[in-house]
Amino acid sequence: MEEKPARVKRLPLLETIVLGFLLVAPLFLGDFYTVILTRMLILCLLAISFELCWGYSGIMTFGQGLFFGMAGYAVALLANKAGFVQIWGVIPMGILVGVVVSFLLAWLLLLGKKAPEIIFVALGTLTFSYAAERLVSGWYYVGGGNGLSIFEFLSFGSYEIEAGVLFYYIAGIALLISYLLSRYLVRSQLGLVLAAMRQDEKRLLFLGYKVRGFKALVFTFAGAIAGLGGALYAHHEGFIGPNNMGIGISTMAVLYTLFGGVGSLIGPLIGVFAIETISFTLSGMDAVKSFWPVILGVILLAIVTFKPDGLAGFIISRRERIGTFGRIKSKKVNGKNDKKGQGE
């Protein structure tokens, strides 16, 4: 029998194309569009954090905006009250706030005596996000409904990092590291447990796995990524407000993921670029300026309804998105190569 030609793996190719574009984008984009693209890179961190929870672990959460916003408020207060804007302290601070807040929520919602239902976690994170948004809206110390403005640039030593090409590459490096760490996590043996947990949690419990512990671990890791995004966002925009930590931005994280495609890390990135580009284009068109959100909503609804795999589903098959877990070992059996790997 003739051997079938090996299928070209589209996911690594797509990742390479996206990485290549992002590397050279500032070379042919002006300063204005570089700033917009930087904002998209930061929002990609928010989208990846939700994908880790829902797409890989089955945790429906509306708390990503909470971690994002609280980290932003923390670094804004650090800048305004203490005058500290050094990047080597701001980024760890954002990550730390994301870890602490997400762990506390995980302890309250995921680490109880009984395995929590999806709706319980969804409503719990929704409640905390709404409560936090209302709290900062009425708290004068953090600017109330007007939010907090940051009047000093992010710095490295005495060098100020303004919104532009340098900030773009800093955000890009943060996204790349977060993406690679997340990719390693979901393709490791832990990723195999997460996939099984999302499909049949009761079976894993029967087999003795500590499902709640795994969920809390992923939830906290995702919170760290969202916190990193919040810290960068606050300094890039020079502002953080109640709308950046409430239900609205948490819902946007859900939409980014659904639009781009659940079940792959590249999907949320595609969703961010697509939604933000469509929003920016439509909002600048005089003919549809007054009702462009309705058009965007119809587009989102059409994709989610008729293409549940999202935009990434047009390029990447479901099998490739699931991928392999752990190391693939090859050995010869009767003169033929036999590949053994989990998840194949």
pLDDT reported for residue 342: 44
CB 274 within 8 A of CB 260: yes
User: Averaged over 253-280, what is the pLDDT?
Assistant: 91
User: Strands 336-342 and 325-333, how do they pair?
Assistant: antiparallel
Residues 257 and 93: their CA atoms lie apart, in Å, by 26
Residue 1: pLDDT above 50? no
Provide the pLDDT confidence category of residue 282 given band limits of 50, 70 and 90: confident
pLDDT tens digit string along 6-44?
455 788 888 899 999 999 999 888 889 999 999 999 999
CB 132 within 8 A of CB 126: no
Residue 159, φ and ψ in degrees, nearest 5: -90, 125
Domain membership of residue 176 (yes or no) is yes
Residue 278: pLDDT above 80? yes
pLDDT reported for residue 262: 87
Q: Is the pTM of this model over 0.95?
A: no
Domain membership of residue 286 (yes or no) is no
Cα angle for residues 92, 233, 321 (degrees, 5° grid): 85
Across the chain, what does the average pLDDT equal?
85
Most confident region among 41-45, 197-201, 302-306 by mean pLDDT: 41-45
Domain membership of residue 156 (yes or no) is yes
Residue 124: pLDDT above 80? yes
Q: Which residue has the higher pLDDT, 46 or 334?
A: 46
User: Averaged over 142-166, what is the pLDDT?
Assistant: 89
The HSE-up count of residue 17 (CA atoms within 13 Å, CB side) is 9
CATH code for position 95: 1.10.3470
Task: Using alpha carbons, select from 6, 45, 56, 8 the residue that is nearest to residue 315.
Answer: 8
Cα angle for residues 197, 198, 203 (degrees, 5° grid): 40
Query: Any idea which of 144-153, 157-166, 310-319 has the lowest mean pLDDT?
Result: 310-319
* The total number of residues written for the chain in this structure: 344
Task: Using alpha carbons, select from 87, 88, 106, 108 the residue that is nearest to residue 98.
Answer: 106
Number of domains within the chain: 1
pLDDT reported for residue 93: 96
Domain membership of residue 296 (yes or no) is no
pLDDT reported for residue 292: 81
Domain membership of residue 4 (yes or no) is no
Percent over 70 (pLDDT), the chain: 86
Domain of 172, in residue numbers = 28-258+324-342
Domain membership of residue 179 (yes or no) is yes
Residue 169: pLDDT above 60? yes
What type of residue sits at position 236?
A: H
What type of residue sits at position 123?
A: L
Domain membership of residue 56 (yes or no) is yes
User: Averaged over 278-286, what is the pLDDT?
Assistant: 85
Domain membership of residue 287 (yes or no) is no
Residue 226: pLDDT above 90? yes
pLDDT tens digit string along 105-122?
999 988 876 767 788 889
Provide the pLDDT confidence category of residue 343 given band limits of 50, 70 and 90: very low
pLDDT reported for residue 131: 92
